[in-house]
Amino acid sequence: MSIICTLKRTALLAVALAPLALASPVVAGPISYPITVTTSSSFFSGVTGSLDFQFNPGDATAQAATATITNFMTDGLLGAVIPPTPPITGGGASGLLPGTVTIANSALSPDSNELNQAFAYGSTLSFIVTFSGDALDNPTNQGSGSTFRLFLLDGNGNPLPPNRPNSPLGEILDINVNPDGTTTLFTVPEPSGLVLLGLGLASLWGCRRIQRRFRLGPG
């Protein structure tokens, strides 16, 4: 499995093996991430499960924000479960794939702002996620932020690929909306993606040469 993302107009970033972070500059207004996930490995072959998107605040101090998912495309099949399993939406989530999905970070733990939709895996899926709201337009630089997560689940609700120590919750993608109004992307790919590591670093350094406000690393 590999994940390719672009941040605004920067170079393509292919990420693999260890978690890498790409932070956006401090800018007001929506921030978009086009995401492509390759699911052609044996972990996904013939599997019918679900896609789970979540956008949850760290705690009650997080400012209001919304994640909007658009342009969903796949060679897999949405809703392909026998017997049929209806989509699950919770908290501030509304809409269904392949249409526009909006997830507000309104519900607090133990509730979840979440869309879970049945899915038969193909070889790829892609979408654009856009973050907007006061957390980006008028950041206070105080309190907690919010996190957007993507989980690829099997038919029993278990994360795919399995046994990834860098992802205790099982997600393959985190995007943090930070208290200072920036956003940070983390990916947690499988070890077999090691071959892509050099490509990811090369693309990211190209991005740094073009626009130095971006930084590599968790900080």
pLDDT, tens digit, 9 for 90 and up, residues 33-65 = 888 888 888 888 889 999 999 999 999 999 999
User: Quick one: pLDDT band at residue 118, thresholds 50, 70, 90?
Assistant: very high
**pTM for the structure as a whole:** 0.78
- Alpha-carbon dihedral sign for residues 23, 97, 87, 84: negative
pLDDT, tens digit, 9 for 90 and up, residues 152-210 = 999 999 998 887 777 778 898 899 999 999 998 887 655 443 333 333 333 333 333 22
Mean pLDDT of the chain: 77
Of 6-20, 41-55, 84-98, 153-167, the least confident? 6-20
What is the token pair recorded at 92? 């501030």
Count CB-CB contacts under 10 A for residue 157. Answer: 12
Residue 141's pLDDT is what? 94
Residue 109's Cβ-count burial label (10 Å; 0-12, 13-18, 19+) is exposed
- Alpha-carbon dihedral sign for residues 144, 57, 127, 201: positive
Residue 14's pLDDT is what? 32
